[in-house]
Amino acid sequence: MKKIQVLGTGCPKCKALMANAEAAVKELAVEATVEKVDKITEIMKFNVMMTPALVVDGQVKSAGKLLSVEDIRKILAG
């Protein structure tokens, strides 16, 4: 099972990335948990300077931009 984390403090782009990540998981029918990480101390552990950020299984896949559902599907499928 994949662990997907969306890092962000609650800005509109962070919320949109969360929704897109959930939609991508649903479309791919992949077993995954999608979790929101909004505590600054937790976000800093990933060495991310800009949010929103997408983390898959502990690896930062994107930071500082809003990925589309298609972008996230490609990351999860690859």
Residue 35 belongs to domain spanning: 2-77
Using a pLDDT cut of 90, give the percent of the chain over it: 96
Domain total in the chain? 1
Q: 53, exposed or middle or buried, with CB in 10 Å at 0-12, 13-18, 19+? A: buried
Residue 13: the pLDDT is 96
Assign residue 29 the CATH number of its domain.
Answer: 3.40.30.10
Residue 12: the pLDDT is 96
Instruction: State the Cα angle at 65 between 59 and 70, rounded to 5°.
Output: 80
The tens digit of pLDDT for each residue in 51-62 reads 999 999 999 999
> Which residues are tagged catalytic?
11, 14
Whole-angstrom distance, CA of residue 75 vs CA of residue 77: 6
The arithmetic mean of pLDDT across residues 13-20, rounded, is: 97
Give the three-class secondary structure for 11. coil
Whole-angstrom distance, CA of residue 68 vs CA of residue 46: 22
Which of 50 and 78 is assigned the larger pLDDT?
50
